[in-house]
Amino acid sequence: MRLLGNILWLILGGLFLAAGWAVIGLVLCVTIVGIPLGVQAFKMAGLTLTPFGKTVVYGGGVGSVLVNIVWFVLAGVWMAIGYVCAGLLNCITIIGIPFGIQSFKMAKLALWPFGSQIYATR
């Protein structure tokens, strides 16, 4: 299911979304101040490229929480709204439910990316 889900995800737009995240990450990494934000964009690109079979573990310390609050206010809430809307649209049909679940996973990561780790599930 993971392989088929990832292939369909890539064909139906995941490749373009991941490429967009990668470009955003490159642009953010131009300045020293933007490098931490660029790293988070690359994290989103990796999850957006192949979301099936991956899990996100949230953690981090006080520094992560403070930066996540700034991220949430400046960009995270808007990105999460986009992913939630896409997830709701995907969940309209039974076939789209797995894709909607992946969109919801990415919405949560878009809200709180600092201190989170992405792992492949077995």
pLDDT at 26: 94
Instruction: Give the residue ranges of the chain where pLDDT is below 50.
Output: none
What confidence score (pLDDT) does residue 91 get?
Answer: 93
CA dist 77 and 112 (Å) reads: 9
Q: What are phi and psi of 52, to 5 degrees?
A: -75, 135
Kindly report each contact of residues 18-23 with a partner whose C-beta sits within 8 Å and lies 24 or more positions away, as own/partner.
18/45, 18/46, 18/48, 18/49, 19/45, 21/45, 21/48
pTM, full prediction:
0.83
Q: Are 67 and 36 in contact (CB under 8 A)?
A: yes
Q: What token pair was written down for 39?
A: 């790293």
Q: Where are the domains of the chain?
A: 1-120
